Amino acid sequence: MKKILSKINYPLLIITIIFAIFGLVMIYSSSNVSAILRYDVDSSYFFKKQFIFEIAAFIGGFIFILKLPTKYYRYFSKIAIFGIIAVLALLFIAGSVANGAKSWYEIGKMSIQPTEFAKIFLIIYLAVYYHRVSTKPKNKKINFIDMFFPLIPAIITFILVAAQPDLGGAAIIALITAAIFFSLPFGKPAKKAIYKVGILGIVIMAIAIIFLGKNFLQGYQVNRILHFSKPCARVNYGDNDTGYQVCNGFIAIHNGGLFGVGLGNSTQKRLYLPDSHTDFIFPIICEELGLIAGILVIIGYFAMLFIILNIAKEARTLRNSILVFGIFIYLMAHILINILGVLSLIPLTGVPLPFLSYGGSYNICVIAALCIVQRVNIENKEEAIKEKIARIE
């Protein structure tokens, strides 16, 4: 374990720990009132649950993910992606509805959101598959089928998530798939197949969006898309109204000014802002700690993303490069879609922020993803040492 720990990326680890601790503090601060008044539980209920989930995820990540070489992912990548597709399909029979979407399994007092696991499993599957394609003998050309086959589970996953309906989750799955697919470093013959398959995939997803939009979208989701640019012009006092949520988020940011009203002193968390500890935690941070704190959060996120992108560039195999690049897109998409949504620059989709938003399934997946990045960094350093020794010999 000491050898492994000596090769991890410590700047990334430090940023991760800072975000985890800061997130726990803000989850307690933003949820302590609503926990009592809205959910009838003790004030630290959401803090304690998040703490347990994160500790379990960190322990599991350090024990299993950091020790497992990525070359072994090929043994479970297919089982993982097709297994999670089956789990997503079963949601329509056995799932629970929350916030208008059938996205959850209720197991006792615990809720599990399989969409979050699907994002990580999809990245692993695409990385393993396209790495295998890249190792084909030179006398065998990469063809249309080679490129299209892995998109089948990606498209099925997209459709199942969009049908819940979870527009934010579906958008992130589409972004991850498209970013990985169009960044594949194959030669000119393969590029032709990539463009053909890419166009076909976009057409299929567009048809799915049109069909699902007509048959599955809730009224409030349609309103979010149609009226996101002027939310405060149509405020109705209900939790599902985009204007109500976004405008109270604006009030929170305005109240905070540059330096905030003080930790724990938010007025908007007192049931004015319904999702103050989940999707709308960023405005609460700005209200309590100021716009400067909000800017520092964004800087911290982009520092994390910068480190992750550099690890992807240093990867010695296509598998590892896709793994880390996919995780880069996954985290960046969550950050941008959440912050731009609460600022009404894009339609609101209910996407959480890494570490800051409350959510067991999501934050377990974020920690697992960052542990995969650390594992790739370990392998990068091991390969660099081997290359150095080979040059000396």
What one-letter code names the amino acid at 143?
N
- pLDDT for position 289: 98
195: its two tokens: 């463009």
What stretches of the chain adopt beta strand conformation (E)?
96-98, 101-107, 110-112
> What's the average model confidence in pLDDT over 246-264?
94
- Of 115, 202, 205, give the one whose Cα is nearest residue 159: 205
DSSP tag of 347 = -
Listed residue (126, 69, 104) closest to 329, CA to CA = 126
Q: For the chain, how are helix, strand and coil distributed in percent, rounded to 5?
A: 70, 5, 25
Of the segments 97-111, 165-179, 209-223, which one has the largest average pLDDT value?
Answer: 165-179
Q: What number of residues does the chain have?
A: 393
Q: Amino acid identity, residue 329?
A: I
The span from the CA of 376 to the CA of 124, in Å, is 13
Residue 110 β-bridge partners: 107
Using the predicted structure, report yes or no on whether residue 318 has a pLDDT greater than 90.
Answer: yes
Distance of CA 287 to the CA centre of its chain: 25
Q: Is 40 left (phi over 0), alpha (psi -120 to 50) or beta?
A: left
Give me the pLDDT at residue 121, please.
98
Would you say residue 237 has pLDDT above 50? no
Position 217 pLDDT exceeds 70: no
Q: What pLDDT, on a 0 to 100 scale, did the predictor assign at position 239?
A: 45
pLDDT band at 228 (very low <50, low <70, confident <90, very high): low
Which tokens belong to 25? Answer: 């503090």
User: How far does Cα 4 stand from its chain's mean position?
Assistant: 26
Give the predicted TM-score (pTM) of the model: 0.92
